Structure 1
Amino acid sequence: MPPEQIPGNRLTLLESGREYFPALLAALDSACRDIHLESYIYANDAIGQAVSAALCRAALRGVRVHVTVDGFGGRNFPADFLPQLLAAGVQAMLYRPEFARFRLRRHRLRRLHRKLAVIDGRIAFIGGINIVDDDNAPPEMRPRYDYAVQVEGPLVARMHQNMRRMWEIVAWANFKRRYRLLDTQPATPPQVGDQSAAFVIRDNIRHRADILNAYLDAIRSARREILIANAYFLPGVRFGRALYAAARRGVRVRILLQGKSDHPLLRYATQTLYRSALAAGIEIFEYEKSFLHAKVAVIDGTWATVGSSNIDPFSLLLAKEANLVVADRRFAEQLQARVEQALASGARRMRAGEFERQPWPSRLLRWASYGLVRLAANLVLPTDRTDD
């Protein structure tokens, strides 16, 4: 069943931190009732310090502030920021902090990969952007290229409710007691625009395949074109078959992937898929201008998604993720124009035979990487996974 589209919203597309963080900081400084913020990474850099200062200012003026950071992605958060935040009255927690004692066990790899914020139940942010400066990367990878969306309207209530519930779950896991937010659930915000969108999550209970199924439904109904920009791309069988079937029926399929990666093993594994994809008529590009971290897609100029979920087994079948799925031509066309600009200014198109001409050690490295990633996925993913 397609995700429920909620009408009456105003959606603002934000490209990378240069557009996202000024909007987020302004919203934090305008808060008068409550703030919920979730992030996978919370870096001790100029952005992390600016966001923390805004959260402290809000708490000191009486705003209830709740921050949840992943225990692996934000493993330095307790030393870098927790004392400062707690002293100001911010309530902050780690999701699964026991990851420091790493063993290859499924529950420890179920990370909080979402990037969300809701302020006063009236304005929300969703996307792939962590609390980290775009330039907090090696010089050749700066700046990060990513997207988020500012949401205003009735959809905010659903996002707010979900984040409140997440806070209660993490609080129970950390303190081993039932924890309920004492304030009452605010009313649904009024309609402020004419855009429809759905808030789609992936968890390990009732929504294990919701993001995957949203992609599959849209790909299977595509008639003209599919444009995907995704940082970590290693699709399962059903996703791959859906893309191949779309290409066979004449849909133009373009995929923008990383040309500069912080996880070379996964990038090498992904490159083993290029030969068959190119042979099927799928166009593949690598973004070489800087570090691609986006997780977005546009289909037929009417359907779009922006969120935290990569198209790999760990995001689609293990981590907690959140995507916005938008049924609005104006938004889809705006996002497509931005990705087209990235294709034109910073991407290189992959050509058939390019990797076959490489020396055999390079080819062997890629196949070995693919085998290792698939082995790791098979060891830790649920036995009833839905994409194999």
Structure 2
Amino acid sequence: MAPEFLAGNCLRLLNSGAEYFPALLAAIGEAESEVHLESYIFEDDETGRAVAAALAAAARRGVVVRVLVDGFGAPDFAEQHQPALLAAGVQAMVYRPEIARFRLRRHRLRRLHRKLAMIDGRVAFVGGINVIDDFNSPYQSSPRYDYAVRVEGPLLVPIQRALRRLWEVVLWARLNRRYRLTRLVEASGAACGEQTAAFLLRDSIRHRRDIELAYLEAIRSARDEIVLANAYFLPGRRFRRALRAAAGRGVRVTILLQGLVEYRLLHYATQALYGNLLAAGIRIFEYQRSFLHAKVAVIDRHWATVGSSNIDPFSLLLAREANVVVRDRGFADELERSLAAAMSDGAIELPVDSWQRKPWYSRLLRRASYSLLRMLVGISGYGRR
């Protein structure tokens, strides 16, 4: 479906958990009627406990609080957080709970990867930040690098619609009548600013390629500059061709990727693409300061996106994702300056010949990783592109 751009929004870019969680906790603390939160991960650490405590406190003062987490990303939520939340009056559910963790079935790959929150129909949060401490990973001396957007204005309406629709789907699947949507507070959608934006989903029914097509349209129309930052980058042929074509017509293309090894197979598979991209004139930076978790882009300093969707088969073909696409020069400039600072202070640029300089066995390992990962996607039935 084509993006529906709505004018009159007030959007605030939030850089990593240091900016996101204070804003989220403040909004939950001020809630009067309704809080609705979705997260892929809901960790039992200092940040997770702080968010859980804020949600429980809101429920105890009479606010309707709904929480939906993913069964794979938050496998211990039912034991670590759900009992206390339920006791406080929070409506908490798990999307596709992991029952047989060691059985590979196709539907297990369809995860809830969105990170959304809506408070009183007046403010929402969209981005890539899970409910987890920025220093949760071992041996980390700097915080995890990610983004979210605080939203007010007409864009609240489609965000609220998406939250409620998935809640109802999960209720129906679980035959749960206790948590039916009641005491609803409708998002007013009144204009409060001057920024134009669209809310994009990816699911397996009506919005299968909405996020990917938005990226491709923007890349194909780029005239000056493309800056992408992505934690897990394994684009299909169509996406790679669009990037190479942009570079070929003189567009400056820069990609910021994960430098630290988090998931070894995916990390090596991504590096198998470097030679082809570098040869096309695309600059590649690897972020080394901490774990990169961002999924953002800026094109021609007026188009920007922030959200949960990686540019890999799992996000673009399998998971439920949510991104905000913004057409606003001020927002795009702010995001681009932030990315430029991250590349300057925490990343290294790869030389054009870095792929050729690798030993033959290192190149073979990365090509084998790429082939194996694509084969696994193909076996799942989603690798036809």
Which TM-score band applies after superposition, normalised by the shorter structure?
over 0.9
Shift of 1:352: 2.5
TM-score calculated relative to the size of structure 2: 0.97
Q: Which residue of 2 is the match for residue 66 of structure 1?
A: 66
Q: Could you tell me how far apart the structure 1 residues matched to 2:382 and 2:166 are?
A: 21
Q: Which residue of 1 is the match for residue 26 of structure 2?
A: 26
In the alignment, is the contact (CA less than 8 A) between 1:99 and 1:108 conserved in 2? no
1:15-68 CA distances to partner (integer Å, 9 max, x unpaired)? 000000000000000000111100000010000000000000000000000000
Q: Which residue of 2 is the match for residue 327 of structure 1?
A: 327
2:259 is matched by which residue type in structure 1?
Answer: G
Q: Could you tell me how far apart the structure 1 residues matched to 2:354 and 2:3 are?
A: 39
Alignment of 1:114-193 (within 5 A): 114-140=114-140, 142-175=142-175, 180-184=180-184, 186-193=186-193
Which SS does the other structure have where 2:205 is aligned?
A: coil
Which SS does the other structure have where 2:193 is aligned?
A: coil
In the alignment, is the contact (CA less than 8 A) between 2:303 and 2:328 conserved in 1? yes
| Structure 1, 21-30 or 187-196: larger mean CA deviation | 187-196
Q: Which residue of 1 is the match for residue 371 of structure 2?
A: 371
1:284-320 CA distances to partner (integer Å, 9 max, x unpaired)? 1100111100000000000000000000011001100
Q: Could you tell me how far apart the structure 2 residues matched to 1:44 and 1:215 are?
A: 34
Q: Cα RMSD between the aligned structures?
A: 1.5
2:344 is matched by which residue type in structure 1?
Answer: A
Are 1:219 and 2:210 matched, yes or no? no
Q: Which residue of 2 is the match for residue 360 of structure 1?
A: 360
Q: Which residue of 2 is the match for residue 199 of structure 1?
A: 199
Q: Which residue of 2 is the match for residue 209 of structure 1?
A: 209
Q: Which residue of 2 is the match for residue 13 of structure 1?
A: 13
Q: Could you tell me how far apart the structure 2 residues matched to 1:99 and 1:279 are?
A: 46
**Structure 1 moving runs of 4+ over 6 Å:** 176-179
Which SS does the other structure have where 1:97 is aligned?
A: coil
Q: Which residue of 1 is the match for residue 306 of structure 2?
A: 306
Which SS does the other structure have where 2:98 is aligned?
A: helix
In the alignment, is the contact (CA less than 8 A) between 1:141 and 1:291 conserved in 2? no
Q: Could you tell me how far apart the structure 2 residues matched to 1:80 and 1:96 are?
A: 17
Q: Could you tell me how far apart the structure 1 residues matched to 2:241 and 2:293 are?
A: 24
Change beyond 3 A, Cα 1:17–1:110: same
Q: Which residue of 1 is the match for residue 341 of structure 2?
A: 341
Q: Could you tell me how far apart the structure 1 residues matched to 2:100 and 2:191 are?
A: 44
Q: Could you tell me how far apart the structure 1 residues matched to 2:262 and 2:51 are?
A: 24
In the alignment, is the contact (CA less than 8 A) between 2:109 and 2:319 conserved in 1? yes
1:218-262 CA distances to partner (integer Å, 9 max, x unpaired)? 001000000000000000011111111111111010000000131
Q: Could you tell me how far apart the structure 2 residues matched to 1:105 and 1:334 are?
A: 42
Which SS does the other structure have where 1:98 is aligned?
A: coil
The percentage of aligned residue pairs carrying the same residue is 62
1:118-164 CA distances to partner (integer Å, 9 max, x unpaired)? 00011000100000000111124641000000001111121011101
In the alignment, is the contact (CA less than 8 A) between 2:91 and 2:179 conserved in 1? no
Give 5+ residue unaligned stretches, structure 2: none
Q: Could you tell me how far apart the structure 1 residues matched to 2:291 and 2:98 are?
A: 29
1:136 is matched by which residue type in structure 2?
Answer: N
In the alignment, is the contact (CA less than 8 A) between 2:75 and 2:98 conserved in 1? no
| Structure 1, 189-198 or 44-53: larger mean CA deviation | 189-198
Q: Which residue of 2 is the match for residue 57 of structure 1?
A: 57
Q: Could you tell me how far apart the structure 1 residues matched to 2:330 and 2:18 are?
A: 22
Change beyond 3 A, Cα 1:115–1:330: same
Give 5+ residue unaligned stretches, structure 1: none
TM-score calculated relative to the size of structure 1: 0.96
Q: Which residue of 1 is the match for residue 43 of structure 2?
A: 43
Shift of 1:179: 6.7
Which SS does the other structure have where 2:118 is aligned?
A: strand
In the alignment, is the contact (CA less than 8 A) between 2:260 and 2:287 conserved in 1? yes
